[in-house]
Amino acid sequence: MSFYQRLLVVLAVVVLLLGVLMIFTYDVIKINWISFMEIQPSFKPMEHPLPVAARSIPIEGAAYLPGQGAPINPVTSDEVSIERGRLLYSVTCIQCHGRIGEGDGTVSGGLVFPPANLTTDVVQNKPDGALFLTISNGIPGTNGQIHMPALNENLTVRDRWDVVNYLRTLKAAAAPKP
Ligand code: HEC
């Protein structure tokens, strides 16, 4: 064999080995290697979360426990809370519900369902806990659509109560209709 022929054989072997490695790297052939992290009760991303275990306590404080009804607002509606709520509203809600809560935010026209006017009696007459639950869990629509997204991952429990306290000022802020 000439030098070049030998070089060719060596290259062929290297390429072949790399090819075999790629088969496993890109899961063309999938081997379930034992992973000890997986051998425990857990759920994967996008799987339904496990139900809250009995006697567990929400670490963020005054959240609600499933099945126990609407919670009571533990955050006093003072200047600090309302100001926090105003800032959070302007980040998380304003695009749908609009600057003063009338449901006319910039993206409101493109939604499957128009955002609620938060200044109306329909909304303002609801107890704080009901508004808290709406913000936490969102509003599901029919046939799998979502009218309002759940915002419990965007806002902490305290944040949500601050937003509720701010929502109360929207009624007063709304200009009287001529
Ligand atoms: C993606 C758009 C969107 C965002 C963001 C959004 N909402 Fe909504 N919201 C809606 C829509 C749409 C409805 C009406 C849904 C329905 O009535 O089926 C609604 C309804 C409501 C209601 C009415 C509930 C009732 O019982 O009448 C409240 C209160 C509310 N939203 C508060 C908020 C607050 C507070 C935020 C921010 C923390 C927020 N929303 C963020 C779209 C949104």
Q: Is 92 in the pocket of ligand 1 (CB under 6 A)?
A: yes
Q: Where on the phi/psi map is residue 101: left (φ > 0), alpha (ψ -120 to 50), or beta? A: left
Q: Token pair of 176, please? A: 């009287």
Mark whether 164 and 101 lie in a shared domain: yes
**57 in a structural domain:** no
Query: Which residue has the CA at smallest separation from atom 27 of ligand 1?
Result: 123
Q: State the residue range of the domain holding 25.
A: 3-31
**69 in a structural domain:** no
**154 in a structural domain:** yes
Q: In total, how many domains does the chain have?
A: 2
Q: How would you write the pLDDT of the chain (178 residues) with one tens digit per residue?
A: 899 999 999 999 999 999 999 988 888 888 877 777 767 777 676 677 667 777 877 677 656 666 777 888 999 999 999 999 999 999 999 999 999 999 999 999 888 899 999 999 999 999 999 999 999 889 988 887 889 998 988 999 999 999 999 999 998 766 565 5
CATH number, residue 119 = 1.10.760.10
Q: Ligand 1 centroid to 115 CA: how many Å?
A: 6
Mark whether 27 and 83 lie in a shared domain: no
- φ, ψ at 147 (rounded to 5°): -75, -55
Strand duo 139-140 + 146-148: pairing:
antiparallel
**65 in a structural domain:** no
